[in-house]
């Protein structure tokens, strides 16, 4: 198990951890019913923190920001000399937590995506983990939540008896959600990006060799060029440029700016 602190990657504090360490922290918090906000962050997430001071503040207030993307894992090595044998990929992390939750009888809740995706996701997980207790699944409203809606959602999750909440709203909405709900729910919140549609079979995943080589972005760009071209071609290039600047000695601010009253997306 590897857990080697938090380290500045373009102003975002990333935890140098492996699957075992993250899963252990999540399960321990679920058992003790303690708040724990976790995000599996790739390049896009790092860049939202770099370019938006309020989002950087939120990210650095989360309990665990794990290197979902291979380039983020490599950045930890290039900048801080920390070698991790693998990234902490959101879909695989989710399966790891579900496996342990099934063994220990810890109920789970899903929030985000669409009703169709959630239905397929729950069916797959129940088939894979016969003892898994899924006590709730609510789809995204794809807009800001009102105060009343936020309170109602908090009540629904509490009343469900869930001990872990997985959030699949996409970056940066899911990190805002985790930041906002952490203390209200007092259980682990795990933001896992596209894990919901991936595991539901609605989005294709890149072959293993592309994932290991850091080319997953190319596969996803080919799959969804209209939606993703700006993210991958522009943000990835800027990420590499800023990473070079930090390698050469520039330190990026980690403080950010307090967001005040958040617009909570749901």
Backbone angles phi, psi at 253, to 5 degrees: -65, 135
With beta carbons less than 8 A apart as the criterion, state whether 205 and 198 touch.
yes
User: Cβ contacts of residue 64 below 8 Å, gap of 6+?
Assistant: 15, 17, 22, 25, 36, 37, 38, 39
pLDDT tens-digit map of 245-262: 999 999 899 999 998 765
pLDDT tens-digit map of 23-60: 999 999 999 999 999 999 999 999 999 999 999 999 99
The answer to whether the predicted template modeling score (pTM) of the entire model surpasses 0.85 is yes
């Amino acid at each position: 198990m590897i857990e080697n602190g938090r380290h500045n990657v373009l102003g975002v504090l990333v935890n140098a951890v492996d699957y075992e360490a993250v899963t252990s922290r999540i399960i321990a918090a679920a058992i003790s019913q303690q708040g724990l906000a976790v995000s599996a962050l790739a390049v896009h997430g790092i860049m939202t923190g770099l370019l938006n001071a309020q989002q950087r503040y939120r990210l650095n207030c989360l309990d665990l920001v794990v290197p979902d993307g291979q380039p983020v894992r490599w950045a930890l090595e290039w900048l801080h000399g920390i070698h991790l044998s693998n990234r902490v990929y959101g879909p695989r992390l989710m399966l790891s937590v579900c496996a342990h939750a099934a063994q220990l009888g810890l109920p789970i809740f899903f929030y985000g995506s669409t009703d169709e995706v959630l239905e397929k996701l729950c069916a797959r997980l129940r088939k894979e983990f016969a003892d898994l207790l899924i006590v709730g699944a609510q789809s995204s409203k794809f807009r800001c939540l009102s105060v009343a809606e936020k309170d109602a959602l908090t009540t629904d999750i509490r009343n469900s008896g869930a001990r872990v909440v997985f959030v699949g709203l996409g970056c940066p909405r899911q990190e805002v959600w985790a930041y906002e709900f952490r203390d209200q729910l007092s259980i682990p919140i795990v933001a896992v990006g596209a894990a919901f549609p991936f595991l539901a079979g609605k989005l294709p995943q890149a072959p293993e060799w592309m994932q290991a080589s850091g080319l997953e972005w190319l596969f996803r760009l080919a799959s969804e060029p209209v939606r993703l071209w700006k993210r991958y071609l522009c943000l990835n290039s800027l990420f590499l440029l800023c990473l070079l600047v930090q390698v050469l000695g520039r330190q990026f601010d980690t403080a950010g700016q307090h967001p005040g009253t958040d617009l909570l997306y749901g």
